[in-house]
Amino acid sequence: MGLIQNVLAVIVVLGLLITFHEFGHFWVARRCGVKVLRFSVGFGKPIWSRVDRHGTEFALAAIPLGGYVKMLDEREGPVASSQLDQAFNRKSVWARIAIVAAGPIANFLLALVAYWALFVAGTTTVVPVVGDVTPDSPAAEAGLHSGQEITAIQGQPVRSWDEVNLKLVAAIGLNGELTVATRDEGDSHATNHRLMVNDWLVGQDPPQPLPSLGVAPWRPVLPAVVARVVEGDPAAEAGLKAGDKVLAADGDSIADWPALVSLVRDNPGQTLSFEVERDGRRQTLNLTPGARTLDDGTQIGYIGAEVAPVDWPQKWQREIRYGPLEAVGQAATRTVEMTALTFDAVRKMVVGLISPSNLSGPITIARIAGDTARSGLESFISFLAYLSISLGVLNLLPIPVLDGGHLLYYFIEAVRGRAVSERTQAVGLRIGLALVGTLMIMALYFDLMRLW
């Protein structure tokens, strides 16, 4: 069932993003007087199509991993003299720039609309309150302590742990002071803490900003109560069931779920005697955690069980909601921030500050799409907005075969007064195909490594 949900979720997400992207090209091309021959969502043989009164074929193809808008163009075939004024290559360079840029712009507009809808409907976030601070860590040395609310990172206000993490990730590569502002409960005065960092998060895969500072978010106590067991995994094989509360293991009491997780991780392949409470009665189960090998060769244990959720205290929850007009500005700000962060992440990946193993392909997108769909509409729409921005940024990279490569050629033409030679474009096309192909292979490889 999870696989089916993931597949359906990724089809919906990619279908929306591709349709909006290609519609941007299509809509502006029509406004510029260019004849559109085909509007296709997907590649390969069409499984559905129809032709409108303008002679444009709208098609839905079998491979939902892209799309295209095919326009009348003398470079791709003969054009009747009566239709030369509708050919893409006959339009001014500024019209061609507008048509090509419209695709990525449509993705940014989709993200803006998604964020606007979230801000109008209201989003519930967790207040970024510090839980534990690791002794001798950068956070401890700077004076952070449990119970403080983080209010700003590098002078920029934050209202949730999501925003805290985004601001910290944006500082990857920093050498020097990382400023964190906090305030104690009931206090309106904020205190600035200066954390000294060197090559901040460089080489971490994936980046772990909070553990690197020595900060753990405050969380309510999670009793060691099982919500679900995975069929075929050690917990199910040993007879552990949903609703069971683990009281002790090998005679030592289990205080909470993290204590149980720590015990299991430290004992791969070792049989443990679990004392559990089920329906008000105690019983003993013998459970042998399975073993997983990490990248560094160490083994950790697992049992295949999920913790039962607990209610978060109301005082640590925060609802972010705006009126329809105010939400426009907030959505635009969020879209610009996420776009800038994505461009900066690409730059840092190119210069080596971020590992290329953070690239994600269709498998990871499908998994996250399915997870966010199961988490609720708010998570799904947030993921849709972020992915739409990522698609827009990717297409604006100055790589031939992408929209950004075409824009580069057209801007050069606008400056020089003449088009880039066909030979140069052909060489660029081969280079672009090689780069994009390499990126796709790398993303798929890292997808498979995460899956494995």
The residues, ordered by sequence, that sit 6+ positions from 341 with a Cβ below 8 Å of its Cβ are: 166, 169, 170
d(CA 23, CA 227): 44
d(CA 203, CA 211): 15
d(CA 107, CA 18): 9
Identity (one letter) of the amino acid at 95? A
Phi, psi of 224 (to 5 degrees): -75, 65
Token reading at 88: 């893409």
**Cβ atoms < 10 Å from Cβ of 32:** 18
Tell me if 126 sits within 8 A of 317, measured CB to CB: yes
Q: What is the largest CA-CA distance in the chain?
A: 89
* Residue the block writes with tokens 């955690």: 289
d(CA 2, CA 232): 16
The residues, ordered by sequence, that sit 6+ positions from 34 with a Cβ below 8 Å of its Cβ are: 71, 72, 86, 87, 88, 91, 95, 99
Token reading at 206: 């994936």
d(CA 71, CA 86): 9
Tell me if 39 sits within 8 A of 56, measured CB to CB: yes
DSSP 3-state assignment of 137?
coil
Q: How far is CA 165 from CA 19, 162, 208, 322, in A?
A: 31, 5, 9, 23
Tell me if 414 sits within 8 A of 94, measured CB to CB: yes
Residue in 238, 376, 257 with CA at minimum distance from that of residue 306? 257
Tell me if 318 sits within 8 A of 124, measured CB to CB: yes
Beta bridge partner(s), residue 282 = 277
Q: Which residues are known to be catalytic?
A: 22
Tell me if 69 sits within 8 A of 102, measured CB to CB: no
